[in-house]
Chains A and B, each alone.
Chain A
Amino acid sequence: MQVTRRQFFKICAAGAGGSSLAVLGFAPDEALAEVREFKLARATETRNTCPYCSVGCGLLMYSLGDKAKNAHAEIIHIEGDPDHPVNRGTLCPKGAGLLDFVHSPNRLKYPEYRAPGSKEWQRISWDDAFSRIAKLMKADRDANFEATNKDGATVNRWLTTGMLAASASSNETGYLTHKVARSLGMLAFDNQARV
């Protein structure tokens, strides 16, 4: 083998680095020979289901705190549930990164309102949001509800307001959504089955 000038220099440097740095007082502390602490040792484990695709992988969510009154649980890690018959502990890259979804900087925190023609959001209270939306919906329903069609048949429908339901929401949400939408007479009602 050939050793170039530069390599020779490096070899010397490396050789000296080990011993001579110590001489100069740059020696690190004695090697502790320890691995990183296991970060989940006392975390609380909660079972959940991945919200992305429809494989329905089981998750283990690890949170800080033991559910004591004064502890605010913060999810610190998410892994696959090894007991789950389908995923058996595995996850895809999206499932593997669910922590970053939970903690996304774009998670919404407050109800917001945008006035007609405005360029910006303004923060509003939940009560204001609910009241205003309810008024708008009722006014539209009262104005446009079709109790009968042109032939005089009872149709009891409301076509001028529609709803798209979330296909990642739970059955419980979906069931309640359906009840509410149909009781109002909505037909312009769909979910993500198509898109």
Chain B
Amino acid sequence: MTNHWVDIKNTDLVLIMGGNAAEAHPCGFKWVTEAKAHRKARLIVVDPRFTRSAAVSDFYAPIRAGSDIAFLAGIINYLLSNDKIHHEYVNSYTDFSFLVNDAYTFENGLFSGYNAEKRNYDKSTWGYQIGEDGFAKTDPTLQHPRCVYQLMKAHYSRYTPDMVSTICGTPKEAFLKVCQMIAETSAPNKTMTIMYALGWTQHSQGSQMIRTGAMVQLLLGNIGVAGGGMNALRGHSNIQGLTDLGLLSNLLPGYMTLPGEKELDYATYIDKRATKPLRPGQLSYWQNYGKFHVSTMKAWFGDAATVENNWCFDWLPKLDKPHDILQVFEDMNNGQVNGYVCQGFNPLASAPCKVKVSGAMAKLKFLVTIDPLATETSEFWQNHGEYNDVDPAKIQTEVFRLPSTCFAEEDGSLVNSGRWLQWHWKGTEPPGDAKSDQEILAGIFLKIRDLYKKDGGAFPDPVLNLTWKHKIPAFPSPEELAKEFSGKALRDVTDPKDPTKVLVKAGEQINGFAELRDDGSTACGCWIFAGAWSEKGNLMARRDNSDPFGIGQTLNWAFAWPANRRILYNRASCDPAGKPYDPTRKLIAWDAGVGKWTGSDIPDFKPDSAPEEGMNPFIMNPEGVARFFAVDKMNDGPFPEHYEPFESPLAANPMSPNNPVARACPAARVFKGDWETFGKPDKFPFVATTYRLTEHFHYWTKHVKSSAIIQPEQFVEIGEELAKEKGIDSGDHVRVKSNRGFIVAVAVVTKRLMSLTVGGKKTHTVGIPIHWGFLGVAKNGYLTNTLTPFVGDANTQTPEFKAFLVDVEKV
């Protein structure tokens, strides 16, 4: 979230799209009801289903699953053609005026640089025109035909209300009504928040759906303001934290990135990431990359990381390709993976195309699962009748199942979607012999380290030198680990302006990332968490909920990254002169008297940079402004464009009907052999979408009695019209088939799944909740991901769970 949960109460309009906050995040959704009650805010829900969120909305518009970019692009077109944009905001704080490389083109559904064989783009033309001074060229009059504004206007003019209705199946009047409601928030004192979740991310176009939403918000001036923002609701309790800590194949902590195998020179690695300003007077905060990187390496490798060995740069594994979960199961299926460790993760249930995942796991030599509960993954080799029909005798994988603690039995911190690091306390001992995750990791790692010490082996240096300064080595305590990622001074850290002034003494915890250095004098495991545990103590455990400004900022509750800042880009809530656009929702303002930005939040800005200095609010971008034109940051195009889901009821993409390459996302990765597993509408005529229910959490709560009582058995949702066509009554059992397998479930026949007219054809949607499996106290059922396709988003490789094709029959 750019903002945070409580801040939603400050909004005038809520758009829930690509998510179902009432269903999946009920306690956060409370702040929507507060905005409705106290600000007369309106709630719009755009969803293939009339959801629990829709049940309390002011306006609901149906949409075909997988067509969200077309809908949002239509909104962009509406806002631009009806001049419903926040002019000062877009002119000052976005790339509207930036001139784009003359070689950039978009034709027949493809951007310049497409390589059909490799299914990817050469992105070299997706950039700005750079002047001789090294800065990007701009045209503040916005008249230049190559300025972002003009290119964008042309690109989105194709998304007319009729086109939107054709692609999305949304009735035109409903679409226009949504546009009108949203357009009202272009006024400087009105704001909208967008709440989304996996309903946007789990598409082959997921990242671009979110980008399109962000573009709508930028046009309206709704980013960086109280009650605004792009708010990813996030799924797991610490998915934000684990991403912040970089537990993804290509990341290092704090959104630093691992080097690729062509980036072998340390200086080049740093320089490429420590981006210099692209416009005069801009901060380009990533210039400090080296300080963050060196401090992480000092935290990991201690004294072994020296300036001479480039802070152990060679020790970091170099990427040959992405190794996301889909890639790993592909490699596993091809026999290239021998061992797999699943820590609190149930991929047999949660990864797409169960038959492929199950077959892949059977090729492992060993599998280790670490979990408080019995997962399907841990028993993938066990025959569970129709729900997991395998022959154990044929599966040669050694499997270890290690019991871990649950939340109630451990101390530690979690990061919520609002970026708050919140500490929690242990209340009881775990059952039986279960151990904490830290003890389990230590147990395995220390044994490996002992073996390397004793016997030697392949490149033991990083293993032997990994910092492990724990009082009880077999039990690294949460307190020790939290202090390590928060960071400390290894030598005295002094003020760069006055070297006699010591900011932090050697051995003390640092106060924030501004104190990090690239000379080896600081160690900090995750720079964005810096200061979470300072000499003042554990700020994550703070419990002062006072809200002196009345807008829900509670700065003394827990700790928010970065720097305890609650709303990102908050400089953009003020006009260029430093005055809040809406003083009733003031976040910060320039206080000329003290020469600082002050207010109800920590400024997301250089705190003493006066407005006249012309620094712009988006300080992490070298341009200083927000980008409509993504330059080379996205794999599938600098402007979001609608493509069909890989499995779609339409034979062609209505946006580029004559180009079969541009039917589905041209840059999405499809593995050899998976093309054949995609179904066609002749055999699988219905659009399917999977989702969670409020009564359950993923595949955990089928083990939980109270959840099993309130939602006991697997079901699918079918609209009344389709049910009638197929002779299905509520309560009947139905078989839902995709080209990859089938499930059997109870039919819930409902008015809430409407039939839509898409591309002139009647289109039905089948809704498939995900929560059942072959273990648990709820009624056993089929794993929903038996049905889903093995293809992911072109940028993040998030599987396309939200739009694929099925057939349905009564059994």
Contacts and interface: CB of A to CB of B under 8 A. Distances in A.
B318 A167 contact: no
Contact of A61 (B344, B396, B408): B408
Contact of A175 (B327, B403, B526): B526
Contacts of B341: 161-164
Interface in A170-195: 170-195
B303 interface: no
Contacts of A57: 27
A116 B395 CA distance: 6
Contacts of B317: 155-158, 182, 185-187
Nearest to A130: B443
Contacts of B59: none
A116 B396 contact: yes
A105 interface: yes
A83 interface: yes
Given A180-B445, A187-B323, 20 more contacts: A52-B697, A54-B234, A54-B235, A56-B415, A73-B429, A83-B545, A85-B6, A93-B706, A114-B398, A117-B395, A136-B398, A147-B459, A153-B261, A155-B318, A165-B345, A172-B413, A174-B241, A176-B476, A192-B242, A192-B350
Contacts of A80: 27
Interface in B522-560: 525-526, 529, 543, 545, 547, 552, 554, 557
Contacts of B285: none
B336 interface: yes
Interface pairs A-B: 6 shortest CB-CB: A166-B344, A109-B432, A56-B416, A170-B412, A97-B706, A108-B403
B704 A141 contact: no
Contacts of A189: 247-249, 323
B105 interface: no
Given A136-B398, A171-B413, A195-B325, A141 B457 contact: yes
Contacts of B796: 193-194
Contacts of B458: 141-142, 145, 147, 158
B463 interface: yes
A155 B459 CA distance: 11
30 contacts: A49-B422, A50-B407, A52-B236, A52-B700, A53-B237, A54-B237, A55-B233, A72-B429, A73-B427, A88-B30, A93-B694, A96-B706, A97-B706, A105-B703, A108-B372, A126-B443, A137-B444, A165-B343, A167-B237, A167-B239, A169-B437, A170-B238, A171-B415, A173-B437, A175-B525, A176-B481, A179-B467, A181-B247, A183-B462, A193-B248
Given A49-B424, A95-B27, A171-B482, A55 B706 contact: no
A144 interface: yes
Interface string A133-148: 1111110111011010
A42 interface: no
Interface string A57-68: 111010100000
B402 A111 contact: yes
A121 to B, nearest CB: 7
Interface in B368-388: 368, 370-374, 381-383
Nearest to B437: A173
A119 B525 CA distance: 43
B243 interface: yes
A160 B339 CA distance: 7
A53 B25 contact: yes
Contacts of A181: 247
B759 interface: no
Contacts of A131: 447
B343 A169 contact: yes
Specify which of B414, B433, B447 lies most central, judged by the most chain A CB atoms within 10 Å of its CB.
Answer: B414
B738 interface: no
A86 interface: yes
Contacts of A137: 339, 444, 448
A106 B776 contact: yes
Interface string B399-421: 11111101110111111111011
A109 B463 CA distance: 30
A85 B547 contact: yes
A18 B694 CA distance: 46
Interface string A86-125: 1110111111111111101111111111111111010000
B739 to A, nearest CB: 20
Contacts of A187: 249, 258, 317, 319-320, 323
Contacts, number: 494
B671 interface: no
Given A101-B704, A126-B433, A47 B235 contact: no
Nearest to A136: B366
Contact of A154 (B314, B383, B442): B314
A155 B315 CA distance: 8
A49 B252 CA distance: 26
A172 B481 contact: yes
Interface in B676-729: 694-697, 700-701, 703-707, 710
Interface residues of B, number: 167
Contacts of B650: none
A183 B792 contact: no
Interface string B783-806: 000000000100011110100000
Given A53-B24, A57-B27, A132-B400, A74 B351 contact: no
B485 interface: yes
A48 B409 CA distance: 10
B331 A154 contact: no
B240 interface: yes
A178 B398 contact: no
B340 interface: yes
Contacts of B392: 117-119
Interface string B344-357: 11010011000000
B741 interface: no
B318 A164 contact: no
A127 to B, nearest CB: 8
A44 B426 CA distance: 12
B466 interface: yes
Contacts of A144: 338
Nearest to B340: A162
Nearest to A112: B401
A188 B249 contact: yes
Nearest to A161: B339
B397 interface: yes
Given A154-B314, A189-B249, A163 B340 contact: yes
Given A108-B401, A117-B396, A176-B438, A86 B248 contact: no
A25 to B, nearest CB: 39
B792 A178 contact: no
Contacts of B31: 86
B589 to A, nearest CB: 23
Interface in B23-45: 24-28, 30-31
Nearest to B481: A172
Given A86-B5, A96-B706, A160-B337, A177 B414 contact: no
B351 A195 contact: yes
A106 B373 contact: yes
Nearest to B342: A164
Nearest to A145: B458
B777 interface: yes
B554 to A, nearest CB: 5
B552 to A, nearest CB: 7
Contacts of B697: 52-53, 94
B451 A138 contact: yes
A56 B796 CA distance: 25
B316 A156 contact: yes
A128 B706 CA distance: 36
A33 B504 CA distance: 65
